[in-house]
Structure 1
Amino acid sequence: MKQSLNKNNNMRIFLSCFLLLSVLNVFSQENTATQDTVIVKVDSLYREDQFYFAITYNTLMNKPSGLSQSKFSSGLSAGFLRDMPINKKRTVAIASGIGFSYNNYNQNLAISSPAGTPVYTIIDSDIPYDKNKFSLLSVDVPLEFRWRTSTYESHKFWRIYGGLKLSYVLYDRSVFNSADGKVVVTGNKDFNKVQYGAYISSGYNTINLYAYYGLNSLFKSAKVNDESVNMKSLNIGIIFYIL
């Protein structure tokens, strides 16, 4: 009788241990599976969608004879880019979006508009004036190729982004302010409404170097002293990316 009771007790202990181990094993498998699922999900879906803000120094290329720049010509741009990774590690991507740019160009090409027709004159060096510039406000559509060292765990990484930017001029304004008065011209038909150029940005984390070169002329039909004004824009500065 005593041996039978011992056998029953041993059997109960064995069954209890077996059931406990089985429950722990199942719980461990479920927990591991859940963790793996979360890691795969995060790693497979992260993007580098970004707001950007750029500050640039603007220079003019292919200037006509006698034209020079004075003071500091600045530019501001801001927008949003949608990131579309194209490799498994998500370090290579294509991005596109929309933004706005406002660019100033201080120089000595005075623009007037008697009888509604734009007239261009190089300001003589012996003529004093307070201000002479033209400004352009544009809506931008960038399309860029991206390479970076990013991971889903960190937003601090090295990057090289480059591409093309298509711009449409929404508003233009030219100002010549001298002792004789102030001349303001808007809606100048000689400005190219559609402008495009190539750009590149490179750096680490939030702050990056930026350069843009216009591939077509700012003006489409302007002339000064019978010479066509085929100036292009070169903008160099800093661009900030914010997730």
Structure 2
Amino acid sequence: MKRLLITAAVCVATMAAFAQNADSTKTASDTTKAKKGFHISFGHSDNKPHLDANGIDTTHYYEHSKAPGFSFGLTFSRFDLGLATLIDNGSFTLSPQNNFLRYRSWKTSNVGFDLLQFGYRFNSAFKIYVSGGFDWTHIRLRENITIQKNAPVLTYTQDDIDYSKNRFSSTYLRIPLSFDYRSHEDANGRRFHLVAGPDVGLLLNGRVKQISEENGKQKVDDDYHYTKMRYGVFTRIGYGFAGLFAKYYFNDMFENSPAQDGLKNFSFGITVGF
């Protein structure tokens, strides 16, 4: 997981550097013009220069609407990094039967990104697309317990070990359907984004990772009764390259484990790469 996050961070940093360089190039080009600002032109370009009253070419200020069309390809976008919160039957306080899942709020995280995308652009301002990627939720447990593998319901044992890390995680293949509104570019070449839609996740695996002086580092994989298919909604809002995200899943985090009925997952944080 650390290698994956490092790779993702390098990709994000590279994309950010490219975007910054593009902005710098555009800014340098703009300084050669006598008039600043930007105008919007609709329709197809006639490939002729647009001259102002002083005869200066201002063609670079015009943004032509894109023709409708489909798109498909690989991507590395919508990199989410935030906090995960458990909601127990509408409450942020865990009920007694779920108290063993008490977690460290600032170390319980959600990470995800998209790698594949298929969409349709209606115009320059609006498009719809379905994408595929990965999504991790890491619950940093407070209690010195071990969630049991292959148990009939979600259960645990109390350990006489002081774990320096006791993490309970899930990995999902995420398949969101996005409705993406984008404003026209401003003078700096940046847009305002508002994206929302439904999100479906397919469980890939669950994991318990523990670190202690007695046993060193241990990892055990199982489904741990995480729900096989989760469904919910998400929203992203931002400007330029970055923004904020929120995700909420309607069905329970765990299945075939009656004591955890009504326990749901909500995540929020920053997102990079619209």
Q: TM-score range by the shorter chain?
A: 0.5 to 0.7
Is it true that 1:60 corresponds to 2:86 in the alignment?
Answer: yes
Q: Does 1:78 align with 2:104?
A: no
| 1:231 maps to amino acid | L
Closer/same/farther in 2, CA of residues 40 and 208 from structure 1, 3 Å limit? closer
Contact 1:108–1:122 (Cα < 8 Å) also in 2: no
Q: Post-superposition shift, 1:81?
A: 3.7
> How far apart, in 2, do the equivalents of 1:81 and 1:154 lie?
27
What is the distance in 1 between the residues matched to 2:118 and 2:270?
A: 20
Specify whether residues 40 and 159 from structure 1 end up closer, same or farther in structure 2 by C-alpha distance, changes over 3 A only: closer
Which residue, 187, 199, 203 being the options, matches 2:222? 187
Question: 1:26 — aligned with what?
Answer: none
Q: Distance in 2 between matches of 1:165 and 1:180?
A: 41
| Secondary structure in structure 1 of the residue aligned to 2:139 | strand
Letter of the structure 2 residue corresponding to residue 104 of structure 1: H
CA–CA separation in structure 1 for the residues paired with 2:189 and 2:107: 34
Structure 2: distance between partners of 1:53 and 1:166? 17
Greater fraction strand = 1
Of residues 60-69 and 158-167 in structure 1, the stretch that sits farther from structure 2 once superposed is 60-69
Shift of 1:161: 0.5
Larger radius of gyration: 1
Runs of 4+ in 1 over 6 A off after TM superposition: 39-42, 46-50
Aligned 1:107-186 pairs, distance under 5 A: 107-108=141-142, 110-113=145-148, 116-117=150-151, 120-121=155-156, 128-150=162-184, 155-177=189-211, 181=215, 184-186=219-221
Count of residue correspondences: 201
- The answer to which of 128-137 and 231-240 deviates more is 128-137
- Cα RMSD after superposing both structures: 3.6
Is the deviation greater in 209-218 or in 65-74? Answer: 65-74
Q: Structure 1 regions of 5+ residues with no counterpart?
A: 1-32
Deviation of the 1:219 alpha carbon: 0.5
Shift of 1:228: 3.0
Q: Within 2, Cα distance between the matches of 1:84 and 1:127?
A: 54
Compute the displacement of 1:168 (Å).
0.8
TM-score (norm 1): 0.67
Which whole-Å deviations, capped at 9, do the CAs of 1:72-123 have from their partners, x for residues lacking one? 112221114444233xx53122121111112211124744437x42652486
Matched with 2:237 is 202
Does the CA-based 8 Å contact 1:64-1:228 persist in structure 2? no
Query: Any idea what SS the aligned residue of 1:202 has?
Result: strand
Contact 1:219 1:229 survives alignment (8 Å): yes
**Is the aligned partner of 1:238 residue 2:251?**
no
Give SS of 1:35's match.
coil
Q: Deviations over 1:114-153 (max 9, x none)?
A: 7x426524869x9843222211122111101122213599
- Per-residue CA shift, 1:186-225, capped at 9, x if unaligned? 22351111112211010101001111111111110235xx
- Indicate if the aligned counterparts of 2:205 and 2:223 stay in contact, CA closer than 8 A: no
State the TM-score, normalizing by the size of structure 2. 0.60
Q: Which shifted more, 76-85 or 144-153?
A: 144-153
> Any conservation in 1 of the 2:69–2:121 contact (CA below 8 Å)?
no
**Is the Cα–Cα contact under 8 Å of residues 243 and 271 in structure 2 kept in the other structure?**
yes
Contact 2:69 2:120 in 1 (8 A): no
